[in-house]
Amino acid sequence: MSSKDAKIVFTPSGRRGTFPYGTPVLDAARSLGVDVDSVCGGRGLCGRCQIICAEGEFTKHAIVSTADHLSPAGDVEYRYGERRSPLAKNRRLSCQALVQGDLVIDVPPESQMHRQVVRKKAEHRDITLDTSVHLYFVEVQEADMADPSGDLQRLLQAISTEWDLQDLACDPAVLRTLQVALRKGKWKVTVAVHDQSRIIAIWPDLKRDAFGLAVDIGSTTIAAHLCNLTNGEVVATSGIMNPQIRFGEDLMSRVSYVMMHPEGAEEMTDVVRAGINTLIQDVASDAGIAPEDILEVTIAGNPIMHHLFLGISPVELGAAPFALATDAALDLTAKELDLNINRGGVVYVLPCIAGHVGADAAAMVLAEEPHLFEEMSLIVDVGTNAEIILGNRDRLLACSSPTGPAFEGAQISCGQRAAPGAIERVRIDPETLEVRFSVIGSEVWSDEPGFAESISAFGVTGICGSGIIEAVAEMYLSAVVSEDGVIDGSLAERSARLLPEDRTWSFVLHDGEQRISVTQNDVRQIQLAKGALYAGAKLLMDHAGVDSVDRIRLAGAFGSHIDARYAMVLGLIPDCDLEHVESAGNAAGTGARIALLNVAARREIEEVVRRIEKIETAIEPKFQDYFVDAMAFPNKNDTFPKLFAVVNRPGSKAGASSSADRRTRRRRRSRAS
């Protein structure tokens, strides 16, 4: 080390090196492989390369670091401060600050190119930012009579020299805007490069931010998260009802529509793409950006939504052997899918798992990563067609189960979608059979002061999916409903809430302007739906050779709203420690967002999907048996010891209340006598 060399330690990476005085800090960082962002290529324009000079004596590193060990801030940094906001104390643009002594330099998270994206509580994994689209600012040699080369060739030359990116292709759409951008930017432009291989957009002068959209196309709702591709932040989120609903509530009715109307597939493709374009407009305006600033879209959806979005008829998915047109991930352009983002924008569609287990389930795996754990995970997306994944790092299995729309409030006499006025929480006193409930749109329970005022704008209008689960579970726990799912009319003697209905009974939750009750048929619908769900999970457990699971994740709009305890009381899911049953939120949307922000995750899910074992419930003889057993609450044969250790039902001793438990007790009694 000469007397004109300085030691530098970068935190948090801990990388260190020795550099001659006068070296830009950014260059020192780069040569050590320290992750520092830059769009403008060190021109002091983008502000992405900010570092913090740590001051003090760092005995561990044998360094005394002070702000004086950097060159004083010059014109470029002052101009940056004027144009944007002044740099905070000890903050410098690393491309401008020169080494003039020993230093400890902190690279704050927002300056790291591969920073960790902060995730919501329900989301399990951290995302390392590593997008497929990057922005590069370049200065291009002006057109000159003496140099007859084309503008594109000079642009490519500049990118090669300044950013070391060779042999880039250029999207024809970009070529059309290239000459205007170059001249408008006075030969300074920002290009967006996809996959380090293709220029997909160009802007005059410096462009600091680019955006991407993660879309989950559900059969009921379409959700979209707009993310800043340069820092991973979600800047806007929006959702709409899937406009295909007018062609049929559930998936199979949409397939039937296509079967009966030859032009139906095209109509549904048009409306779903129009729906996504509406979302693009919405999120762009919420974030205060132009739709053209969106450069990439990732798509997750169940197989039928996936096919219809791509313009592929879903007819083959309507009958065995449920063949997908393709199960591979797809790299497409926004133009060929009629998406109104940047005209050079790209689209990544996640791979499908099987004919009934789609790209939404693949996204769910990406979000929950069961393939990385030793514990046995059960992940369920509870929709009209439940998608179920079971497994761990050794093995993953998947199936789907036809639950029908009961969980979404359809086919339930007072059922409705989750909206203000819908009952969502229910409690029944097992002694008096009195009911208290809460509705969406109000924080106040029905037996609390102020309830009537709190709902005056909408009233009590029906019961939503999570409400019907709680209502039936509470009816079971208070013995209004038997294990076989029969409403016990004999209780009419002690409660006016039981009303005869033909030869069955119904139970009144609320008697107001509208009477909201649970009928015998409602209970049957829930039994059918939950029976199908449980039978699917059980079948996977059979194939995996396990009789219990370590963790359960409930995903989807409905899955993430139901109370795990009630889901287990009814036997939607197998017995498990309740603290290990959690909501996964919109796991498919999260997975689409992970794929948007991290290209390695795309390769990961493509590889994982190939090794998932697909189980087709329709051809499994045991499915029907499991389904019949699972019609009982919580199950005819399977015991729920963990659940009943914490939940009581009148008449159930020591909390054990399933038929199987009672049979065991009876057997023990007869042996004893």
Applying CB under 6 A, the residues found at the interface with ligand FES are 38, 40, 42, 44-49, 93, 95
Smallest gap from residue 43 Cβ to ligand FES (A): 6
Smallest gap from residue 95 Cβ to ligand FES (A): 3
Tokens representing 465 are 């999916």
DSSP tag of 550: S
CA distance 148 to 207: 28
Identify the CA nearest to 189 among candidates 176, 203, 173, 177: 203
Smallest gap from residue 80 Cβ to ligand FES (A): 7
Smallest gap from residue 4 Cβ to ligand FES (A): 24
Smallest gap from residue 163 Cβ to ligand FES (A): 12
CA distance 181 to 547: 63
Strands (E), 133-219: 133-139, 169-170, 188-194, 198-204, 211-217
Q: Which is nearer to ligand FES, 49 or 576 (CB)?
A: 49
In sequence order, the β-bridge partners of residue 505 are 500
Smallest gap from residue 541 Cβ to ligand FES (A): 54
Give CA separation, 454 vs 414, 439, 441, 564, in Å: 21, 10, 8, 27
Smallest gap from residue 49 Cβ to ligand FES (A): 3
Identify the CA nearest to 282 among candidates 218, 224, 221: 224
Q: Which is nearer to ligand FES, 163 or 558 (CB)?
A: 163
Q: Which is nearer to ligand FES, 209 or 270 (CB)?
A: 209
- Give the alpha-carbon dihedral of 179, 183, 189, 191, to 10 degrees: -10
Q: Which is nearer to ligand FES, 46 or 597 (CB)?
A: 46
In this structure, how many other beta carbons lie within 10 angstroms of the beta carbon of residue 244?
Answer: 27
Smallest gap from residue 195 Cβ to ligand FES (A): 23
Q: Which is nearer to ligand FES, 49 or 594 (CB)?
A: 49
Q: Which is nearer to ligand FES, 43 or 636 (CB)?
A: 43
Q: Which is nearer to ligand FES, 40 or 568 (CB)?
A: 40
Give CA separation, 523 vs 338, 413, 467, 532, in Å: 44, 10, 13, 14
Smallest gap from residue 46 Cβ to ligand FES (A): 4
Smallest gap from residue 50 Cβ to ligand FES (A): 8
Q: Which is nearer to ligand FES, 19 or 163 (CB)?
A: 163
Q: Which is nearer to ligand FES, 193 or 455 (CB)?
A: 193
Q: Which is nearer to ligand FES, 137 or 211 (CB)?
A: 137
Q: State how far Cα 585 lies from the chain centre.
A: 7
Smallest gap from residue 93 Cβ to ligand FES (A): 4
CA distance 262 to 43: 58
Q: Concatenate the DSSP letters of all residues of 24-57 into one string.
A: BHHHHHHHTT-----SSSSSSSS-TTEEEEE-EE
Q: Which is nearer to ligand FES, 162 or 542 (CB)?
A: 162
Task: Please list, residue by residue across 26-51, b when 16 or more beta carbons sit within 10 angstroms of its beta carbon and e when fewer do.
Answer: bebbbeeebbbbbbbbbbbbbbbbbb
CA distance 322 to 324: 7
Q: Which is nearer to ligand FES, 94 or 385 (CB)?
A: 94
Q: Which is nearer to ligand FES, 46 or 357 (CB)?
A: 46
Q: Which is nearer to ligand FES, 30 or 614 (CB)?
A: 30
Q: If you count them, how many residues does the chain have?
A: 673
Q: Which is nearer to ligand FES, 47 or 351 (CB)?
A: 47
In this structure, how many other beta carbons lie within 10 angstroms of the beta carbon of residue 116?
Answer: 12
Output the residue with the shortest Cβ distance to ligand FES.
95
Give CA separation, 411 vs 20, 465, 468, in Å: 75, 11, 11
In sequence order, the β-bridge partners of residue 510 are 516
Smallest gap from residue 24 Cβ to ligand FES (A): 9
Tokens representing 337 are 């899918």
The 3-state DSSP class for residue 325 equals coil
Sheet-wide strand order for 377-381: 581-585, 551-555, 377-381, 386-391, 396-401, 613-614
Smallest gap from residue 589 Cβ to ligand FES (A): 32
Tokens representing 369 are 């990563």
Tokens representing 432 are 């008096």
- Sign of the dihedral through C-alpha 38, 41, 45, 51: positive
Smallest gap from residue 84 Cβ to ligand FES (A): 10
Smallest gap from residue 29 Cβ to ligand FES (A): 11
Smallest gap from residue 611 Cβ to ligand FES (A): 42
Kind and range of the H or E element at 592?
helix 587-597
Helices of type H across 381-519: 451-454, 465-477
Q: Which is nearer to ligand FES, 209 or 620 (CB)?
A: 209
- Sign of the dihedral through C-alpha 12, 13, 14, 18: negative
The 3-state DSSP class for residue 337 equals helix
